[in-house]
Amino acid sequence: MKLWNLALSNMKGSRSSIISLFFMIMIASILLNVSLTIAIKMNTFFDNKFEQLQEPNINLLLDRSDEQQVYYDYIKQDPRVAASEREAVIWAAGRFSYGENDMSIGIAVQQAEQDRQLSPIKLVEQSSEPEVTNGIYVPYDFKLNAGYQLGDSFTLHIDDQSFHYTIAGFFESAMMGMHNTGILKFYLPEEQFIKLEEHTADHGVLYSIKLQDSGQITGFLNDFTGEFPDPPGRSASAPLFTTLDSDIVKSVGSMTINIITMILMAFALVIIAVALIVIQFRVSNHITEGMNNIGVLKALGYTSYQVMLSILLQFVIITLSAGVLGAAISYLVLPVFGSVVTTLSGLLWSKSFLPLINLISIALILLLIVLVVVMSSLRIFRLPPVVALRGGIITHNFKKNRFPLDKAKGPLQLLLACKTTLTNMKQNLMISVIVTAITFASVFSVVLYYNIGKDKTAFIHLVGAETSNIMLQITDAADYEQILTSLEQMEHMTKVAVLDMTSMKVDGQSFYMNMSDDYSKLNNQLVYEGRYPKYDNEIAVSWVVASALNKTIGDMVEVEAGELKSNYLITGLSQSISNLGQMTYITVSGAKQVLPHYEGTLLNLYIEGVDNTSFIQQLKAQFGHDITNIIDVTDTIQSQSKIYTSAVFTVMVTVLVITFLVVVLILYLVIKKMILQRKKELGVLRSLGYTTFQLMSQISLSFLPVVVLSVLLGGGLGAIYTNPLLSVLLTGAGVRNVQFIINIPLILFVCIALILLSYVISFLVSYGIKKITTRRLMIEE
Amino acid sequence: MSDSLIVTEKLCKTYSSGGNQQHVLKNLDLTLQNGDFTVIMGASGSGKSTLLYALSGMDQPTLGSIIVNNQNISKLNQDQLALFRRKHCGFIFQHINLLDHMSVLDNILASGLLVSRDKKNVVKRAKELLLKVGLLEKDWGKFPSQLSGGEAQRVGIVRALINRPQIVFADEPTGALNSSSSDAVLDILSSFNEHGQSIVMVTHDLKTALRGNRVLYLRDGVICGDLSLDSYYNNNREQRQHQLQAFLNEMGW
């Protein structure tokens, strides 16, 4: 009880610093609870969703005309398959309005009323009107990211035909429910479905396969495509089977969420570190200032352990109350990040109460704080009462009179501020560490936002997309050479590059294979070590593939497509987030070793001085018969990257707001303490005739050098280490070498804003001295 | 004959605490003359220091006015008071109050350079004054913690005089010093007073009070005695001591 009283009396004397500490621990608790909850729930989020929505592990799509009975028979007879379904669908390259842009993507249109065991339609919202004319059911992602509402009109463009519908409902689906996996599905009522089927030639079949064990996906797909390879002469960009599996869906859906979670967690740790530094500072000050009291307590018979416990107890009280409140508030904040998860995955985030995570978060923070308090108060044990009663051993170690006023150049206020700065080195070190850390975090988040929200080139390259303007798919029958020459001669055309993708076996394992006539033409140079292949016996592989094959640059690999095999020399290692980072690259001439009839069919066009839409019209007019599909790449990238922009924006705002709060809290804490400690000195200066403004300027200026240096240090570290740190964070996603644009003016802007903010905050907090009269400043301790 | 330096009219100072009001100064009408060495005496709690701080613009009166050089300082705000103090006043404190993290010279220049931008002359004057109070060049770079009490108070005096103030206010300047240091400090003050420096000093020490040529006695916030004495340098010290002793006895000291 007496310790409790001592702890309470300790707390009474320093209300403002306790409040700021309380807020800091609360913020740390909120961040830690949110990030841990998301991290732990994300582990099972997709698996639970797949279970809940009865999703298959694999979707296989093919043209109905290509279907053979043996395909589905094979699936049904495979012992690894737990359940399967076959369904007639419309399988086409579709285009529609998505947000402010158009999106071109592979679409599978299914019949809404059909009975399904796998992936039954699960509507999140549906029109209350019993019969919607021309109704269509679209993924929930369309509401979240494209702004569609029930009853909105929706136009689907397939093969130059436009089909007009009204949105009758939004459904939730893990497979083909999110555009970032490259395929989207829609549902049409029977009547509309039949009508669409009559008007298009894109009749397809969808196989949905549920395996006994989701770990068998790769094995099953390898065996299936091995059993039924693409027939010779088939265009590489239009394989027989288009596949989508749950591993890809999880990987694509969780990548950004994982990055966000990691950033939040890292930031929570930064805040905890800040709180720990502040506590260390406070305990240390408490002991120094309360030395006499400690002496009295010891003289009265309190043991060192009891004195330390009385100090510890106050921090335990603060931590527990702030930690619990933070955990409670995290439940209010979680929906914000839940909606980010929903935005990125297209799947609904459900609220849940996770007391164990809350307990772990609070216990973690408490443990760290107890450790710091105990470490900082160990010197109490070394203090005999008599020494403590004498105020401890205070040695004045003024080796040098810094900034002597008779010699130093500069305004008096500045010189006095410099003296103060050098006198409070310990405190300055604390501020320096904190400001450096939060500047780094701010720069990191701003760089992230700049690259994902503003200049997206580096991010798009990271994802693996080629940033051409238009993608043109030509028919197999077209004269490739002639079209290529004509294209290159078109006005506004800067370059044309072939970039096809298919699936091939490399040393017996299936991987995605890129094929280009000249990789040096591509804007997105993904090889980070060595080089892209130049000759027909060369290959570049991603480091994920290299690791899987246990090969590296200079080794040979065997590539197999259908019945033909050939050996290639690895010339480079690449990185890519897409397709789980499993990428390989050969030249068009190299591809002919295993696909003798192969000609490039997917052409990337790079134009200048003309808008994409009018150029597309021009292409249609000139090459109409030879084209199977045209994609406005700029538009597609713009619409697809929107979801990342909003997610990263949320993170950036969170980090910046917390940075602001931390700067305010820290400066408030330190300056309040400083005013208390320097009360007498400030009183003397006032008696000498210094005005409140001059004293406020002096206090603010005294923080400026350390703030400026720390902000510049944090900014510099942010500029240098954001890419390496992102590379580490994204290793699991297939990235080794992130090359985000480090926008120096933007970083400088953040740094200057932080410096100004610190100065203004210092100035405002030090305004508190105005309320104290000169005499009170001097006589009150 | 000296002219008026400070005039107070109906000067009141009241402190409020927890609903209780304590009237420390009550309707004081007082005139202090230029060039005087005025000593304020009284028992503990009589309002000596409160009067000193009010006269010097360190604290604001509750009621009444304080006119210094025809300027009513009781109407000034904190910052205007600061400007007033730096121009017209010098302070010497009982606990000296040097700035710990500054050297001897910097402690003086922190005040001197606040008023004058002529650094060369301010530094020159500071050094001259330091030599005058017996602090040699070897001491100028020292920090307050490296000085004796007497030395520190001499620095305090130089700091108070650096801006050539019209009035030096001293709040028990020898209260924390030993006998020899006290004498040295008082000698310095007397010597400056002899050269025309107005000084207002609070003390409860008879020997210290003897340095003044006017002694005011305060009781319960009211001036109940006002004694004029010959100058300290008029060689009639014994007579002055008798006069003061009699005055204080009359005041019930």
Q: Give the model's pLDDT for residue A387.
A: 66
Give the range among A39-43, A319-323, A445-449 with minimum mean pLDDT.
A39-43
- The token pair at A343 is 């935005």
Residue A248 in this model has a pLDDT that exceeds 90: no
CATH match for B4-251 among 3.10.450.50, 3.40.50.1980, 3.40.50.300, 1.10.1660.10 = 3.40.50.300
Residue B58 in this model has a pLDDT that exceeds 90: no
pLDDT band at A539 (very low <50, low <70, confident <90, very high): very high
- What tens digit of pLDDT does each residue of A268-287 get? 777 778 878 877 877 887 78
Give the range among A453-457, A461-465, A569-573, B119-123 with minimum mean pLDDT.
A461-465
Q: Give the model's pLDDT for residue A662.
A: 81
B105 CB within 8 Å of a chain A CB: yes
Beta bridge partners of A561: A564
Average pLDDT over residues A560-565: 82
Q: Give the model's pLDDT for residue A715.
A: 95
Average pLDDT over residues A159-179: 89
- What tens digit of pLDDT does each residue of A16-32 get? 778 878 888 898 899 88
Q: List the single best residue of B103, B122, B130 to mutate versus A (max A Cβ within 10 A).
A: B103
CB neighbour class for A79 (10 Å; exposed up to 12, middle 13-18, buried from 19)? exposed
Domain ranges of chain A: 1-40+249-394, 51-248, 413-458+641-781, 462-639
- The token pair at B253 is 């000291």
Q: List the single best residue of A684, A690, A767 to mutate versus B (max B Cβ within 10 A).
A: A684
Give Cβ neighbours of residue B134 (< 8 Å, ≥ 6 apart). B154, B184
Q: Give the model's pLDDT for residue A710.
A: 93
Say how far apart CA A153 and CA B164 lie, in whole Å: 87
- Characterise A6 by phi-psi region: left (phi > 0), alpha (psi -120 to 50), beta (else): alpha
Q: Give the model's pLDDT for residue A232.
A: 64
Residues of B in Cβ contact (< 8 Å) with A681: 99-100
Say how far apart CA A421 and CA A427 lie, in whole Å: 9
Q: Give the model's pLDDT for residue A14.
A: 67
Q: Give the model's pLDDT for residue B215.
A: 95
Residue A4 in this model has a pLDDT that exceeds 60: yes
Q: Give the model's pLDDT for residue A405.
A: 85
Say how far apart CA A656 and CA A659 lie, in whole Å: 5
Query: Would you say the C-alpha torsion B233, B234, B235, B236 has a positive or negative sign?
Result: negative
A485: number of Cβ within 10 Å:
11
Residues of B in Cβ contact (< 8 Å) with A684: 93, 97-99
Share of chain B above pLDDT 70, in %: 99
Q: For residues A345 and A253, is the Cβ–Cβ distance under 8 A? A: yes
Contact check, Cβ <8 Å, B79/A692: yes
Please, what's the b/e burial string for A433-460 (b: 16 or more CB within 10 A of its CB; e: otherwise)?
bbbbbbbbbbbbbbbbbbbbbeebebbb
Residue A205 in this model has a pLDDT that exceeds 70: yes
Residues of A in Cβ contact (< 8 Å) with B165: none
Contact check, Cβ <8 Å, B58/A774: yes
Residues of A in Cβ contact (< 8 Å) with B103: 401, 404
A778 CB within 8 Å of a chain B CB: yes
Beta bridge partners of B199: B37, B168
Q: Which residue from A419, A683, A774 is facing B102, i.e. has the nearest CB?
A: A419
Residue that wins the pLDDT comparison between B123 and A423 = B123
**Which of helix, strand or coil describes residue A443?**
helix
Q: Give the model's pLDDT for residue A1.
A: 46
Q: For residues A516 and A585, is the Cβ–Cβ distance under 8 A? A: yes
* DSSP track, B185-208: HHHHHHHHHHTT-EEEEE---HHH
**Which of helix, strand or coil describes residue A541?**
strand
Say how far apart CA A695 and CA B86 lie, in whole Å: 14
- The token pair at A63 is 């043209």
Q: From residue A151, give the alpha-carbon distance in Å to each of A179, A624, B162.
A: 22, 35, 85
Task: Tell me the nearest-neighbour CA distance from A413 into chain B, angstroms.
Answer: 9
Domain ranges of chain B: 4-251
Q: List the single best residue of B14, B93, B102, B137 to mutate versus A (max A Cβ within 10 A).
A: B102
Identify the top-confidence range among A178-187, A377-386, B19-28, B193-202: B193-202
Residue B1 in this model has a pLDDT that exceeds 60: no
Beta bridge partners of A157: A95, A162
Residue A45 in this model has a pLDDT that exceeds 80: yes
Q: Which residue from B79, B85, B101 is facing A693, i.e. has the nearest CB?
A: B79
**Which of helix, strand or coil describes residue A569?**
strand
Beta bridge partners of A158: A94, A161
Q: Find residues 159-198 of chain B whose CB sits inside 8 Å of chain A.
A: 159
Contact check, Cβ <8 Å, A412/B106: no
Query: Would you say the C-alpha torsion A578, A579, A585, A589 has a positive or negative sign?
Result: negative
Residue A670 in this model has a pLDDT that exceeds 50: yes
Q: Give the model's pLDDT for residue B223.
A: 93
Q: Find residues 228-247 of chain B whose CB sits inside 8 Å of chain A.
A: none
A401 CB within 8 Å of a chain B CB: yes
B206 CB within 8 Å of a chain A CB: no
Residues of B in Cβ contact (< 8 Å) with A696: none
Residue B142 in this model has a pLDDT that exceeds 80: yes
- What tens digit of pLDDT does each residue of A747-767 get? 999 999 999 998 998 888 888
DSSP A523: S
Say how far apart CA A331 and CA A319 lie, in whole Å: 18
Instruction: Enumerate helices (H) and strands (E) in chain A, giving the number of each.
Output: 23, 21
Q: Give the model's pLDDT for residue A475.
A: 80
Give the range among A573-582, A735-744, B93-102 with minimum mean pLDDT.
A573-582
Contact check, Cβ <8 Å, B82/A401: no
Query: Would you say the C-alpha torsion A243, A125, A93, A574 has a positive or negative sign?
Result: negative
Average pLDDT over residues A629-638: 83
pLDDT band at A188 (very low <50, low <70, confident <90, very high): very high
- What tens digit of pLDDT does each residue of A704-757 get? 888 999 999 999 999 999 999 888 877 766 677 788 899 999 999 999 999 999
Residue that wins the pLDDT comparison between B28 and A629 = B28
Share of chain A above pLDDT 70, in %: 92
Q: List the single best residue of A677, A686, A688, A696 to mutate versus B (max B Cβ within 10 A).
A: A688
> What ipTM does the predicted assembly reach?
0.72
- What tens digit of pLDDT does each residue of A436-465 get? 988 998 898 889 888 888 888 888 777 777
Q: Give the model's pLDDT for residue A775.
A: 65
Residue A781 in this model has a pLDDT that exceeds 70: no
Contact check, Cβ <8 Å, B105/A681: no
Average pLDDT over residues B152-175: 91
Contact check, Cβ <8 Å, A688/B59: no
Identify the top-confidence range among A3-12, A156-165, A769-778: A156-165
Residue A398 in this model has a pLDDT that exceeds 60: no
Share of chain B above pLDDT 90, in %: 47
Residue B159 in this model has a pLDDT that exceeds 70: yes
Task: Tell me the nearest-neighbour CA distance from B111 into chain A, angstroms.
Answer: 6
Please provide the average confidence, as pLDDT, over all residues in chain A.
84
Q: Give the model's pLDDT for residue A580.
A: 66
